[in-house]
Structure 1
């Protein structure tokens, strides 16, 4: 419905539509795909996932562990759509520096369909998650790992944009 309103007003020329399903191994891709509105309504496929480290019921997960299932599922179903990591981050539990370096390495080597990453740069608490600190600069080592990782020319290419 909202896409149609944008279309009627001529605003789709200036909008980019991201479909961001939550896919879990338990529910499976069929569950998420049943909500897919169609290729003409979606410009990007989005995912979100966090490494909560050892927070209560969570286990440490690498970037690849967080996104391989979603990525492979959606690349098979929608091979031409660019992929955006709509939200991601990691806590200092474990080695944040190592997690960041490995995440960017994996995007470059294993997940070439990922064309945008949005980092959740905040310290927060919610329900069972206590003081989750995914800020890029939560430690000097984490900040340095992030700086070094995004300095790779692979991540600094020209971004196509639409004039508004």
Structure 2
């Protein structure tokens, strides 16, 4: 969330329950696997060309394949996402959002602090509802330097192993809004080189552990609060990112159209990558302009083929970001969400 309005985080849920395994069908597409990650993936399919023995023995020893996230990376339709109070530990707020929006969200975002275990039950709850879990992983309890140097490897490996064990797709955004100055991993206490080194180190460990179920999200804040901070130095590279998760809110002041809020940031990013955009966090501040802001968000996202959806921050904290902050706002959101371009079955993208 942009520094200018919000400094809150959703409460972190309880520790996870037992994992539930679920395998997916293998489909064609692109990926951000490294060579080692690809080798892990192929071994999971029993396709190791160096393996010896009969075909029958290979088949009998074949493990469940990792869930193939590739069809989810650039779907034909757009994600309608939400971050909601208590979700996905409790789904009451998501169900209320769906009722008011007239459509179920298919992406559910929540926040996890560095040091927390991978919350398998929350990912499972999201999937059972019909949505992909989206974790904003916040390194409050360590430094980017320590992550990149390997001092946190035991924790990262345990986390990655839990991802692989659950075997469900999950989007992970590490160190979001890194181009801002309001977080410990931001520009006041860390460098762009330290961020990219930490991000890539985490990704590489996940590949080493065969945790290829992750959709990797790189989430800068929109650039207007800090126009002199260039984004390219923070870019880990196309091999390390699946979604560019731009974060930007419609506030009472500042840019108030899709073009002015997101346009400069997206244009800058298109100078170094063609990866699909997703608006990783957004909402509109309560007030007379909110219905117009909601319409701007939907229409702007619908008009761009390279934007695959958004996540609405549906909280009443410091200001009422919820879609039902006023009757006209709720009515407008429901009308816009009826667009068939938004929402799809994540199990059959």
Alignment TM-score > 0.5, same fold: yes
4+ residue runs over 6 A deviation:
none
The structure, 1 or 2, with the larger RCO (C-alpha pairs under 8 Å, 6+ apart) is: 2
Q: Point out where structure 1 has 5 or more consecutive residues left out of the alignment.
A: 126-131
**Which residue, out of 327, 332, 335, partners 1:148?**
335
Match of residue 214 from structure 2? 15
Comparing 59-68 and 87-96, the one that deviates more: 59-68
Whole-angstrom distance in 2 between the partners of 1:118 and 1:160? 19
Whole-angstrom distance in 2 between the partners of 1:161 and 1:77? 31
Match of residue 4 from structure 1? 204
Q: How does 1:52-131 map to 2 (within 5 A)?
A: 52-53=251-252, 58-59=253-254, 61-79=256-274, 81-109=275-303, 111-125=304-318
- What SS class does the counterpart of residue 154 from structure 1 fall into? coil
Deviations 1:69-103 (A, max 9, x none): 11222234212x11110101111223211211122
- What SS class does the counterpart of residue 107 from structure 1 fall into? helix
Write 1 or 2 for the structure with the bigger share of strand: 1
Tell me, yes or no, if the aligned pair for 2:301 and 2:309 is still in contact at 8 Å: no
Match of residue 129 from structure 1? none
Once superposed, what is the RMSD of the aligned Cα atoms? 2.1
- TM-superposed deviation, 1:16: 0.7
Match of residue 45 from structure 1? 244
- TM-superposed deviation, 1:160: 6.9
Q: Which has the larger radius of gyration?
A: 2
**Corresponding residue pairs, total:** 147
Tell me, yes or no, if the aligned pair for 2:245 and 2:277 is still in contact at 8 Å: yes
- TM-superposed deviation, 1:60: 5.8
Q: Point out where structure 2 has 5 or more consecutive residues left out of the alignment.
A: 1-200
